[in-house]
Chain A
Amino acid sequence: MPNMQPNKTPMPEQDPHVRNKNFKEVALGYTDEMAINEAQRCLQCKNPACVQGCPVNVPIKDFIHEIVEGNMDKAYEVIKSQNSLPAVCGRVCPQETQCESKCVRGIKNEPVAIGRLERYVADWYMNNREPAVTAPKHNGHKVAVLGSGPSGLTCAGDLAKLGYEVTVFEALHAAGGVLMYGIPEFRLPKKIVQEEIQQLEKMGVKIDTDMVMGKVLSVDELFEMGYEALYIGTGAGLPNFMNLPGEGLVGVYSANEFLTRINLMKAYLPEYDTPIIHPKNVAVVGGGNVAMDAARCAKRLGAENVYIIYRRSEEEMPARNEEIHHAKEEEIIFKLLNNPVAIHGDEQGKVKQIECVEMELGEPDASGRRRPIEKKGSNFLLDVDCVVIAIGNSPNPLIRSTTEGLEANKKGCIIVDDNTLQTTREGVYAGGDAVTGAATVILAMGAGKHAAKSIDEYIQSKADQ
């Protein structure tokens, strides 16, 4: 008999007032007993809807069944067959809109905690097994992957499994993309990211860091070097600013800069050389995961008051539910239905105040969300010494501006064929945020998987000719 307990088995967490002063992981993960208890809540549906909700189609009920049986090695194998980065996905996927949103247990009660179980299995494997991954036999074909974020790593992993010789080129000094520079340690420990990447390397994936593609090598040169196909997974790393008066003041950061200094450069640790401002009062503008991450980082740097300024209401916030909940517990102050109009500075050019207006929600716009409208004359000032702009990113133009025949839309997103993910150039595929604009880790991974399949078909069909 399945466990009919209505709610998810709770996961232990660091106390909010302790954790908002450190960068250690907030959610501590299930114990063996908790995992088995939660796994028993799964009804093992004949036609499981949860799988349709997963962009990489992990055979969810199968791996959960293995947990119930106590076969953790088998559970891991089942997940790994479809997902190259389970320890990452279990932590950062917005399960409430993906797998768990489709779970039948969720109709009356809380859905099965699929993400927590995936995380449990991946962590169990890392802690208990020395991965004896061996590189598959090479099939004699070379593929280049541009960008080592979740999309590129997934594509590389899937191609390596098929025997391709894969090189991943990364512009920064560490592989992982947003997993390294964007998502903070307290949500996704960097050690876990690096361990998952090392497993890919053991499978034969070569990772070349410090290579700014488009500058150091062009797409055409990669073909000349013998790569038969390319995958562009360069993400959406170009920060959007608001063009507010005062955006040039000292203390105004893009979320990318703020988070890169903290996560990639470890500016919060004294032994690292990269500096960061240690602000007292911080305004973070935006309502996505990036805004939550920036706000919670600011709190951990020692800020007294951290405000999230978001122009719509909580219902429209794109951030993961769990992170909004965590942010509130950590005393982040939510200024909803507010929008900044200017940033004011002192004589030294440092941020002193942010000027906002109140908003109200009108009719739904093209995105289906109710359009925020400014309340005239509702201007007010907040005393802050730091402003972080987290209103979204666009694709970085570096590759497309240096590659002839690679077409992009008005927003700078690379245009691909929906069926194959091939770009307007033969043999060049693209996916993830570079194509969709800023989205989620798991969607980027789904695209990487999809492209790996297309690249394999493309190269095999050429080889057959």
Chain B
Amino acid sequence: MFKIIKKEPLNPSMTRMVIEAPFVARKAMPGQFIILRVNETGERIPLTIADYDREAGTVTIIYQKVGKSTLLLDEQEAGGYLMDFIGPLGKVSELEGYKKAAVIGGGAGCAIAYPQAKALHAMGTKVDMIAGFRDKDLIILENEMREASDRLIVMTDDGSNGNKGFVTAALQKNIDEGADYDLVIAIGPIPMMKAVSNLTKPYGIKTIISMNTIMVDGTGMCGGCRLTVGGETKFACVDGPDFDGHLVDFDEAMKRLGTYKPEEAREREEHCRLYGGIK
């Protein structure tokens, strides 16, 4: 059992949780993830490690309430326990040796992009952070992202923060103005990562994306997370989750992500009916 040390809402749909998991905290590195299971009947869900404290033995996760399991997770309070918390899993991000990077986060993806920006920034890379949200009420981690970068641009789809447009618009503008990036990191929904990869490809800017596939074990034993990269089958849990955005078959990945849509919708609805839905 793994104790929940702290829990705080970041916006109406996102929550930050600090979990006591000393073994995970000792080894965690940027880009890696954990698998958790809330209770005995729960499913195993992957979440990226948003932060860690080796001395305190804690690991921070940030999750968006999108379905039954994340709603169930959000019903747990500080002082309570999670049944299973397994990690660190996946490959460590390779961030060394870059001069100037654009780190792009889309919605919940900002929670994963932010530690990447922080790590790059700490290594002396110049970092432009571009964060995209649907509207201004959903903006998270603004101060943290500002501190982790040389420049922060926050975009909203509806322009409610005065900066209307997708992240790709901001990236295009920076490139046009001569930003001269040697690395772009994009983390968010698959269509967003695909759009960023398509944008950078003609410029030949190395683009790393973090794949959010369906996973079960997270240790390479089932292949549920497989995707096609450069024509080869890869397992996101052990070969990734970071991949070269110019080589990933995003359309296939998008379809695979929708495998359990009917089951997920039903589970969510039943859970909401039983427990009164999102608080």
Contact = CB atoms under 8 A, between A and B. Distances in A.
Interface of A: 171-173, 209-212, 215-217, 237-239, 241, 243, 247-251, 253-254, 256-257, 260-261, 265-266, 271-277, 348-350, 396-398
Contacts, number: 111
Nearest to A396: B220
B221 A238 contact: yes
A211 B2 CA distance: 13
Contact of B264 (A173, A210, A211, A275): A275
Contacts of B69: 273
A256 B221 contact: yes
B216 interface: yes
Contact of A257 (B23, B224, B238): B224
Given A215-B87, A349-B255, A398-B238, 13 more contacts: A173-B83, A212-B86, A212-B87, A215-B88, A241-B233, A243-B233, A248-B227, A250-B255, A251-B259, A273-B267, A275-B263, A276-B263, A349-B251
A241 B223 contact: yes
Nearest to A247: B233
23 contacts: A171-B217, A171-B219, A173-B44, A212-B86, A212-B89, A215-B88, A216-B87, A217-B23, A238-B220, A241-B223, A241-B226, A243-B233, A249-B255, A250-B258, A260-B217, A271-B41, A273-B42, A273-B68, A274-B216, A277-B259, A349-B251, A350-B255, A396-B220
B85 to A, nearest CB: 7
A398 B27 CA distance: 15
Interface of B: 23-24, 26-27, 37, 41-44, 68-69, 72, 83-89, 216-217, 219-224, 226-228, 233, 238, 249, 251-252, 255-256, 258-260, 263-264, 267
A248 B41 contact: no
A238 B223 CA distance: 8
Contacts of B23: 211, 216-217
A215 B37 CA distance: 19
Closest CB pairs A-B (n = 3): A349-B255, A257-B222, A275-B263
Contacts of B226: 241, 248
A396 B221 contact: yes
A217 B22 CA distance: 12
A389 to B, nearest CB: 9
Nearest to A211: B23
Contact of B249 (A248, A253, A273, A397): A248
Contacts of B85: 210
Nearest to B39: A273
B219 A261 contact: no
Contacts of B72: 273
A265 B259 contact: no
A173 B42 CA distance: 12
B84 A173 contact: yes
Nearest to B85: A210
A257 B24 contact: no
Contacts of A254: 222-224
Given A173-B83, A349-B256, A273 B43 contact: yes
B27 A216 contact: yes
Contact of A256 (B86, B222, B260, B263): B222
Contacts of B89: 212, 215
Given A215-B27, A250-B256, A274 B221 contact: no
Most chain B beta-carbon neighbours within 10 Å: one of A247, A251, A257: A257
A247 B256 CA distance: 11
Contact of A239 (B41, B223, B259): B223
A256 B217 CA distance: 10
B44 A274 contact: yes
Nearest to B263: A275
Contacts of B224: 253-254, 257
Contacts of B252: 248, 349
Contacts of B217: 171-172, 260
Nearest to B215: A257
Contacts of A171: 86, 217, 219
A271 B267 CA distance: 10
Nearest to B232: A243
A173 B217 CA distance: 9
Contacts of B227: 248
A210 B84 CA distance: 7
A273 B216 CA distance: 12
B69 to A, nearest CB: 6
Nearest to B271: A273
B224 to A, nearest CB: 5
B103 to A, nearest CB: 25
A275 to B, nearest CB: 4
Contacts of A274: 43-44, 216
B48 to A, nearest CB: 15
A63 B221 CA distance: 38
B214 to A, nearest CB: 9
B68 A396 contact: no
Nearest to A217: B23
A275 B267 contact: yes
A257 B68 CA distance: 21
Nearest to B37: A173
A272 B221 contact: no
A439 B173 CA distance: 58
Contacts of A348: 255, 258
Contacts of B238: 398
